[in-house]
Structure 1
Amino acid sequence: MRLDTAEATLDVAHESFPVDGSFTISRGARKTAEVVVATLRRGGHVGRGECVPYARYGETIEGVMEALRGMAGAVADGLDREALQSAMPPGAARNALDCALWDLEAKRAGKRVWEIARRDPPAPVPTAFTISLGPPEQMRRKAARNAFRGLLKIKLGGEGDLARIRAVREGAPYAPIVVDANEGWTPDTYAELAPELVALGVLMVEQPFPAGADEALATLERPLPVCADESAHDCASLEGLRGKYDMVNVKLDKTGGLTEALKLRDAAEAAGFGLMVGCMLCSSLSIAPALIVAQGAAVVDLDGPLLLARDREPGLLYDEAGAHPPSPELWG
């Protein structure tokens, strides 16, 4: 769909949401979720998309907003989703605009996004709940409070990780567990911890080694399956993961939007990778399009709004069935 010249406008805004307590990974702690929202308007229709700039990839709030504002002229000239893929590189800024284009198209057509994408209507998706990095006893208490959840994702960071997982398992004896090392391990760390974590019932580790320094995975025995996160961005990065990773984590802020995320999902499955769908620390507006990608995924980690003290209104419904598809008022 092409937008009519002069009728399409783009607004860009920075929004902040308080975290429930704090959220800590190996790179630091955060007390707010900082997002950028792209809003497209045409006549009486409005489309929105949210992204989370990530310093790990050299992104800043200011830089992403500047990149989006630079697209205002192209939007007015009729930019569509297909042209956007070559007009902007993968990353947070393109994600916000791509999702806003999907939302606007759905609003104008009077359809849901999954109909336009020719996908089955999404069902509620059970999601992991993240236990952020901390002292073992603190992580044990948080695991105990969340032991009822269908999957716990545990943030790790190197020294002391075995004690942390033992504490989490003590707090949640029966909960399925995956762990995220956030590039904080070495090959020796993996070789030492993997058998112990498998014995403790851990199902998978996400990105144990730094992206660009993960060649050891090609020759390392992997008793604990390994999922690519920082090493996996879009379809172009997929070939470099073969033989090193067992799973791929698809995140819209890495792929640059729903358009490429759906392509990466399909390509990863066709290549034999297990599928994980994840998110940044964000509001329900970021999660809504990811739910389409997450249908049938082996691991779903779309708990961003659950980690906030306040989500946007209307937000997504989370209950015992998981994260429910968005209302049209929210997105899509």
Structure 2
Amino acid sequence: MSASPPIELQVDIERLTLKAPFRISGYTFTEVPVAVVTLRRGDKVGRGEAAGVYYLEDTPDRIVQTIEAQRSRIERGIDREQLLRLLPAGGARNAVDCALWDLEAREAGRPVWELAGLDHIAPRITTFTLSADDPPAVAQAAMALGQVRAIKMKLNGDLATDIERVRAVREARADVWLGVDANQGHTRQSLDKLLPVLVDARVQLLEQPLPRGQEAQLEGFDSPIPVAADESVQGLTDVAGLVGRFDVVNIKLDKCGGLTEALQIVNEARSAGLQVMVGNMVGTSLAMAPAFVVAQLCDYVDLDGPTFLAQDCRPSVRYDSGSIHCSENVWGGGRA
């Protein structure tokens, strides 16, 4: 394969302030730092953003270090297939991969979704996420979401409080699709007690109920609610091990290392008989836009990251009547 033309690399860290503290099982966030990669070749520019995987200590500082260690190789000219071999899955590869897609689209004069083989792109209904706050506060937050059509609520592993949270949100919002995300917070024993409550509340997706590494405990777990793997699936090689334990694969570009592998995971999951979800770490519209391409192929979409920010980037994705809209001028637009 001939070498790609040289590239000028820039990588920065930006700190995104949240509107309010956000709580999940074991963590409370007040700000989210992200790494932003800019690639220039001639008069064309491509950009990508990554937050990394916090529970694997894949921080923006480490992302920058990983990219800087390969600066000379990247700047000599690299394509997406070479990048898959150069960097491991994670935030560093995600930021560079998405910047390469964006750059390629602008050089080709075609949008990324066309380069990815899609026939068209359209708005998608997305979940809007509720922090694991006290039940009355969560119910109030659910009401404040207004005309959304899908809500995902965070649990924290406290069984009694989680039961109250679920019941409070369903009572407040009888009209919405409802999913729950335990973020590894429960045990098999507490999950057995929680499940009837979820069924009674018409919960339609149960995400990552048990800690990563304890997936085998889900073998034989008879759940009428689809169970999604998040922390239990990082990349393409993890998909095969989900069969018989999970029903849904939650793809996040920060985990798998970019849009290139994310599209491969979609195909692998479908071949294994699994449903597909796309999610996000909190980030700006620059991070949501590549995931929006994946969303076109998914059964479940969770791309509400910018709604938690005090300020999003511009141009930005748009949320309307519970759906996410992403035009080509946000990222990955190749047309003049």
TM superposition score normalised by structure 2: 0.95
Task: Return closer, same or farther for 1:126/1:219 CA change in 2, 3 Å cut-off.
Answer: same
State the partner residue of 2:91. 92
Please tell me the residue identity of whatever aligns with 1:78. G
State the partner residue of 1:55. 54
Please tell me the residue identity of whatever aligns with 1:239. A
State the partner residue of 1:130. 129
| 2:319–2:325 Cα contact (<8 Å) kept | yes
Runs of 4+, deviation exceeding 2 Å: 325-332
| 1:38–1:68 Cα contact (<8 Å) kept | no
Residue deviations 1:264-297 (CA, integer Å, cap 9, x gap) = 0111112111111100011000010111111142
- Residue identity over aligned pairs, in percent, reads 41
State the partner residue of 2:291. 290
State the partner residue of 1:115. 114
CA distance in 1: counterparts of 2:74 and 2:157, whole angstroms: 45
State the partner residue of 1:192. 193
| 2:8–2:41 Cα contact (<8 Å) kept | yes
| 1:195–1:223 Cα contact (<8 Å) kept | no
State the partner residue of 2:268. 267
| 1:38–1:48 Cα contact (<8 Å) kept | yes
State the partner residue of 1:242. 243
State the partner residue of 2:171. 170
CA distance in 2: counterparts of 1:200 and 1:51, whole angstroms: 35
| 1:3–1:76 Cα contact (<8 Å) kept | no
Alpha-carbon offset, residue 311 of structure 1: 0.2
TM superposition score normalised by structure 1: 0.96
| 1:9–1:72 Cα contact (<8 Å) kept | no
Alpha-carbon offset, residue 61 of structure 1: 2.0
State the partner residue of 1:301. 302
Please tell me the residue identity of whatever aligns with 2:99. A
Residue deviations 1:148-175 (CA, integer Å, cap 9, x gap) = 2110000001111001111111221221
CA distance in 2: counterparts of 1:327 and 1:301, whole angstroms: 20
Residue deviations 1:65-88 (CA, integer Å, cap 9, x gap) = 111112211122221100100111
RMSD, aligned α-carbons = 1.4
CA distance in 2: counterparts of 1:297 and 1:177, whole angstroms: 17
After TM superposition, the structure 1 stretch with the greater mean CA deviation from structure 2, 293-302 or 90-99, is 293-302
Structure 1: gaps of 5 or more residues: none
| 1:285–1:331 Cα contact (<8 Å) kept | no
| 2:252–2:262 Cα contact (<8 Å) kept | yes
